[in-house]
A and B are shown apart, each in its own frame.
Chain A
């Protein structure tokens, strides 16, 4: 049989008879040959090997075969290599067999010990018993007993003493750990009880207690607002951690923000000087959890409010609203402005100065902002309750809330309305001081009267959007002037507009009907003009010696056409310039103060 043929063979490697190599047969054969293992140990075998006796008996006849083969076949290199392969294979098999044998022995040992143990603790013993053993022998069937030594009374006594001591020690240490644990648990229970009591109190106060979104194990309280903008939605939860004594502890950063600026502040400025300021009350010092939650709630509301105000204010630069990093300024004209920013909470003893109208205004503006944000939250809820808009690729950016615009509208309108009111008051006073009759009545913000107020929304809506005021003025000479002023910060006015309607007999002036003005100066000029003409008319009615010259504000005397008067009205009041052709002009002024002389007195003067 040549090696080439063997290498080319497609047959599988010839296998040894498994029976021949199996541990069980091996053990059986060894026992048959050498008797019980008890008598075999390393030294005996080694000495046998040294003596060369029975080598074949223990390990089969391989060395002999090898020798024989070597002798028979002083063959080529290939043959030797094959031998090496066989040798390795044999060695491997030998090792495997030995390992298997050892394993078997170990299992037998384990079975034996398990069986023994199962006598006293059946469940522990039976766990490690092999199924074969369990089948063949009942659990706990192997008994053992200690060989009764001739007990040394001294050692027995010692044993008992040691046993006692150990047991006592064991029991003591168990008792100690149990006591320690019980104390710890007791403390823990007490803390838990306190913690839960407070949590419950918080809940009964109406707060919503939830789990923290990113820490499932921690309880939190939801103080945010459901309809807040996305930026503020996730901020509205504060962790309620258990403090060292079991009390609820809240993070302070959530209650005042990182800079401690916790509340919206509105100040009324006049030429850069603070005239009035809102009050930032907020129970600053209290450390109770309820107050802290309240503070946190207030802070998040105010923070969102300011955020929305700046967002809207940036779009209103064309309307006199200026924004900087941390403040918004609304210009009211006349050097007055309103500054809005975030400020720290006041100390508890600061109260609003109710006698200062500017402080009242500031406080009112702050209040209005808060109401408007709440109103916007309601609107957002209403919007969410409706079917959503169709899906689009574009990201939908929510429009800025409308808070600064309505408030600015009101402030401007109020300002203009006050101006108008004082102007009219002044004119009436002037006219009266000149001995004529005049009156005016205003109906401020009359369009706010229309909507029926049913709930929060309608209550707020009544004051949003455009504002209109009306004033009716009765001037001398049967003139009646109706002023309608409107303020809106949108198209078409972007401010305040006036519509003035005049009704009169049309003798002293042709211009009648409605005139529109978009600035208060124009409106003022027009009112002056009206008053001039109405006085002309009044003179015409009451004094038949005077005649108007070509619908102007000048009149001449019918008796003597060189005698003339010119009636003019301006900011200071009514002035009558009297004179004759070629003579010196004389000026008489009624500025509202009582001069003791009326226009009629002047006209009826025989000479000047």
Chain B
């Protein structure tokens, strides 16, 4: 109940189900319309047109499913991904220490000696 993703999940699930329903039902309708069964030419013409309508409806549903997968991928990617900015690698400081010490050694290397 308190899960805020509940609504989103239900929405996505609904979209999947809806599209699946469309695919199945439209296919069923096409099959139903396939028989000639003594209908005269006017009825047949109308039915042939309906078949094409069903087909484009199926395509639309499939397109929508593809769009859904993309938005799922995006949601997954942005949902999981906390901002990684500002995370400082521990090793950087370690490197800086070593480089800094080495540089210091090099920069402060004295020349000459008083015992010469």
Contact = CB atoms under 8 A, between A and B. Distances in A.
B54 A208 contact: no
A529 interface: no
A421 B109 CA distance: 12
Contacts of B1: none
B21 interface: no
Interface residues of B, number: 53
Given A159-B41, A463-B103, A192 B108 contact: no
Nearest to B60: A181
B107 A162 contact: no
Interface stretch (A314-322, A454-462, A548-556): A454-462
A163 B44 contact: yes
Contacts of B92: 456
Contacts of B104: 448-449, 453, 462-463
A545 B16 CA distance: 115
A458 B66 contact: no
B59 A453 contact: no
Nearest to A458: B100
A550 B56 CA distance: 117
Contacts of A203: 77, 81
B69 interface: yes
Interface in A446-484: 446, 448-449, 453-456, 458-460, 462-463, 472, 474
B39 interface: yes
A277 B63 CA distance: 57
B85 A174 contact: no
A428 B114 CA distance: 11
Interface stretch (A134-142, A351-359, A437-445, A566-574): A437-445
A192 B68 CA distance: 12
B86 interface: yes
B101 A178 contact: no
Contact of B63 (A159, A185, A421, A425): A185
B70 interface: yes
Nearest to B97: A453
B88 to A, nearest CB: 8
B53 to A, nearest CB: 9
A441 B51 contact: no
Interface in B93-116: 93, 96-97, 99-101, 103-104, 107-116
A449 B108 contact: yes
B48 A439 contact: no
A445 B108 contact: yes
A83 interface: no
Nearest to B37: A163
A208 B112 contact: no
A480 B47 CA distance: 115
Nearest to A455: B93
A188 interface: yes
B3 interface: no
Contacts of B114: 439-441, 472, 474
A439 B51 contact: no
Nearest to B80: A203
B40 A163 contact: yes
Interface stretch (A63-71, A165-173, A389-397, A519-527): A165-173
Contacts, number: 144
Contact of B108 (A171, A446, A460): A446
Interface in A402-451: 421, 424-425, 428, 439-446, 448-449
A162 B40 CA distance: 9
Contacts of B111: 421, 425, 441-442, 444
A453 B107 contact: no
A376 interface: no
B36 A174 contact: no
A189 B66 contact: yes
Given A160-B36, A162-B41, A192 B70 contact: yes
A459 B108 contact: no
Contacts of A448: 104, 107-108
A164 interface: yes
A216 to B, nearest CB: 10
Contact of A188 (B30, B40, B66, B107): B66
Given A439-B113, A453-B101, 18 more contacts: A159-B40, A163-B40, A163-B41, A178-B55, A178-B59, A185-B62, A192-B66, A208-B84, A222-B85, A421-B111, A425-B112, A428-B112, A439-B112, A442-B112, A453-B100, A455-B97, A460-B96, A463-B103
18 contacts: A164-B36, A166-B44, A167-B34, A170-B47, A171-B30, A173-B51, A174-B54, A181-B63, A192-B70, A203-B77, A203-B81, A211-B78, A424-B112, A448-B104, A453-B101, A454-B93, A462-B104, A463-B103
9 closest A-B pairs (Cβ-Cβ)? Answer: A170-B48, A459-B100, A174-B55, A455-B93, A163-B44, A456-B96, A181-B59, A459-B96, A453-B100
Interface of B: 30, 33-34, 36, 38-41, 44-45, 47-49, 51-52, 54-56, 58-59, 62-63, 66, 69-70, 73-74, 77-78, 81, 83-86, 92-93, 96-97, 99-101, 103-104, 107-116
